[in-house]
Structure 1
Amino acid sequence: MSKPVSPDAADSRPRLLVLASTYPRWRDDHEPSFVHELSRRLVGRFDVTVLCPHAAGALPRECMDGVHIFRYRYAPARWERLVNDGGIIGNLRHHPWTALLLPTFLLAQLWGLRRLLRAVRPNVIHAHWILPQALMVALLQMVGVRTPPTLVTSHGADLFALRGRLATCIKRLTMHRMQASSVVSRAMRGPMLALGADPDLLGVAPMGVDLQHHFTPDALTPRARYELLFVGRLVEKKGLPHLLNALPRVLQRHPETVLSIAGFGPELAACQHQVERLGLKAHVRFLGALPQDALPDLYRRSSMLVTPFVQARSGDQEGLGLVMVEALGCGCPVVTTRLPAIRELQDGHWPPYLAEPGDPVSLAAQINALLDDPASGKAWVAQLRPSLLERFDHAAVATGYAQQLSRLVTSSADSK
């Protein structure tokens, strides 16, 4: 990691250090960008520095959208495969050799955090995920290193997966040392409290979506009649194999139907083989991983987005599913499954297009129902958009996080 630069004494903004394992490697990367999108919208209120893992082709250090980014190396570049294209849990499952990278990954992050604490002297830390980011802060505290107040945000995988006795114990010890916490959906509040989070300091705050300028409807784009869309990492909890199993039943009723798959991940080869085995090659298109700028047009022209979420064998499941908010923002109806986090989007307007998780028959029935009556889908999306703007637009989300972080800065200053 490049040598950090000391903070500018003339800058009156509080200094915020963001810790994340999922972060764009470069501009327009296909990796999930929600941490960067939040961080860059905090720049007006904070001097923001991010610590995240390095990957092949990424700069060790750069400034992107006013955010100072430091990427720690944990292996030779060609072997830095633990984080990207599937996430840590997905890569560990499908590529067991990546477990060999865990010791250096954790040590490099710990060392990078220690260096930035000295150089940046942050007033507050925002750790995304309990494991490993918040754990790194807790470990430094345990050996006597002074750290600023820390807000930890759980996005789901750290909460729902890694449920063994040792992992749960580590998460409890970590949470005990956090000054505040948040989860991205109300469904996650109970599991977070079970880890010892202070109920008075536990917020429910989703990540945001640009619903005002990017993910917006376009009346000039014609919507296809029989085009299904799947967007997401190709990992177990996203449930793509169940959608592929449902597709033959959809084709029996609507033979013109096609499915476009935008995503990449460790289950890609298995899903491609499944398409061949089911004889679906003429009806399924694998688009690969796409940058965020390519998604709005897909949402605007597709008949619907299908998110066949399931609970993975590890216990991992969707914490919220922002891809649904993106689609709805573009006027695209959604068929999804009955998982706890889905209730976050209901708000009294959710339609009956809810399938049972892992049930291709139920999923096909809901897809067919929407294909039979697209006008009803259009109507409920229009009803839902105002509440989505209020709860999920970047401006509202960034304001909420800024207030939570500012309270930590103020309370820390008052206690000195």
Structure 2
Amino acid sequence: MAKLCIIKPNPSTYSETFIQSHVDFLPMEKKILYGGVFPLYKEDGSFLIPTFWGIASYLFQKRALKKRDIPVRTKALVSYLRKEKVDVVLAEYGTTGAMVAEACKLADVPLVIHFHGADAHHHSTINEYQDWYRRAFQYASTIIGVSNDMINSLQRLGAPREKLVLNPYGINTERFAPAHENTNRSNSFLFVGRFVSKKSPQTTIKAFYEVLKRSPEARLIMAGGGPLLEESKTLTQELGIADKVNFPGVLPSDEISQLLKQSCCFVQHSVTPPDGDMEGTPNTILEAAAAALPVVSTRHAGIKEAVIEGKTGYLVDEYDTTGMAEKMVAILSSPEQAAEMGREGRKHIMQNYTLSDRIARLNAILEEAIAKKHNHS
């Protein structure tokens, strides 16, 4: 069995279910490294750099000299890849791929770089890593994007078109299956995600405020955490709708699944903020559609592909508060049509976004990278 090394920035985080699915389901023998854009730790928490003096040298160069190219850690990664006889590296996030490309090249191990969102769009990230990206693009076997917008952005950044592959996220359609045929869902709208600028939770709240003027019985549940959570709570108080909006915090997957089954519609007003950050293909929108919920969202990144406008939900322009409110009212006004959109949404997910299909595609990409290397040896 081929040996895969997955290199990721974080040990684990609730908002990176897509990376965890790679760890859990890719059918290869796996080694995991983590600890920032360049890995510092092995899966057991021990240091990748094996000696005290090596670690001290790394910390001095990073913190005191502010260096990015640090030979001692590159050498440690090269040694690890050779010792473990790794067949292919999957770098989660473009920034990680950029930083480990040189070590992969020295170890003669194929590299697949998986971009996810901000790494392909965020202005300051691109400015910081642009030269590193170009070098990594030259060595990488394959560069993966999760939406057509992302593929286009990566091509503009210098990724060769022949190396770019579209592979959106997949989800467990059984976990998020609808409980039963239901045209009498509640009047609750649901948002699940991080409270950050690119998800613009305040715009969703403002749209819901307009909805309440026509449908005072409506409710909004906003699950998740993040830097804009308190600001969002304050906005509901200022608008006088705090009693109509519930903020349950970060919830486990099974509780989110239950909320999806009980809600009438999933709402997310994704935007491109001034810093250029963008979504990839939001997992929560895929999960909502799999649960047969109509989606009201924006014409943004991979959402344009995940939601078929007018068939599985409604899309509005970014920052169009009035348009979003109108589409939310339309959902409430026609439960039968909303239910039909939900059925079509689940069908769309089953055809294009199942976890098994997307993992199989990613595995094929990794196997192709290994085969290419052997053919050139």
Post-superposition offset of 1:231: 0.4
Post-superposition offset of 1:40: 1.6
Give the counterpart letter for 1:260 in structure 2. Answer: I
Q: Secondary structure at the match of 2:106?
A: coil
Residue 35 (str. 1) matches residue 23 (str. 2) = no
Q: Is the 8 A contact 1:38 1:208 kept in 2?
A: no
Query: Pick from 136, 140, 143: which aligns with 2:103?
Result: 140
Residue 126 (str. 1) matches residue 114 (str. 2) = no
Post-superposition offset of 1:165: 4.2
Residue 219 (str. 1) matches residue 183 (str. 2) = no
1:43-82 matches, within 5 Å, as 43=27, 46-53=28-35, 69-71=43-45
TM-score by structure 2 length? 0.86
Structure 2: gaps spanning 5 or more residues: 49-61
Query: Pick from 344, 369, 376: which aligns with 1:383?
Result: 344
Query: Pick from 202, 210, 213: which aligns with 2:164?
Result: 202
Q: Secondary structure at the match of 2:242?
A: coil
Q: Is the 8 A contact 2:117 2:278 kept in 1?
A: yes
TM-score by structure 1 length? 0.78
Q: What is the distance in 1 between the residues matched to 2:327 and 2:183?
A: 23
Q: Is the 8 A contact 2:312 2:345 kept in 1?
A: no
Post-superposition offset of 1:172: 2.2
2:116 aligned partner = 155
Q: Which one has a larger percent helix, Structure 1 or Structure 2?
A: 2
Q: Is the 8 A contact 1:221 1:301 kept in 2?
A: no
Q: Is the 8 A contact 2:298 2:317 kept in 1?
A: yes
Post-superposition offset of 1:196: 2.2
Structure 1: gaps spanning 5 or more residues: 1-12, 55-59, 62-68, 75-98
Post-superposition offset of 1:292: 1.7
Q: What is the distance in 2 between the residues matched to 1:70 and 1:280?
A: 48
1:14-413 matches, within 5 Å, as 14-22=2-10, 24=12, 30-43=14-27, 46-53=28-35, 69-71=43-45, 113-114=77-78, 116-131=80-95, 133-140=96-103, 145-162=106-123, 165-211=127-173, 213-219=174-180, 224-346=185-307, 350-351=311-312, 353-413=314-374
Change beyond 3 A, Cα 1:104–1:214: farther
Q: What is the distance in 2 between the residues matched to 1:166 and 1:299?
A: 39
2:59 aligned partner = none
Q: Is the 8 A contact 2:218 2:244 kept in 1?
A: yes
Change beyond 3 A, Cα 1:240–1:49: same
How many residue pairs get aligned? The number is 358
Change beyond 3 A, Cα 1:113–1:264: farther
Change beyond 3 A, Cα 1:284–1:346: closer
2:54 aligned partner = none
Give the counterpart letter for 1:158 in structure 2. Answer: D
Q: Bigger CA drift: 285-294 or 113-122? A: 113-122
Q: What is the distance in 2 between the residues matched to 1:223 and 1:51?
A: 47
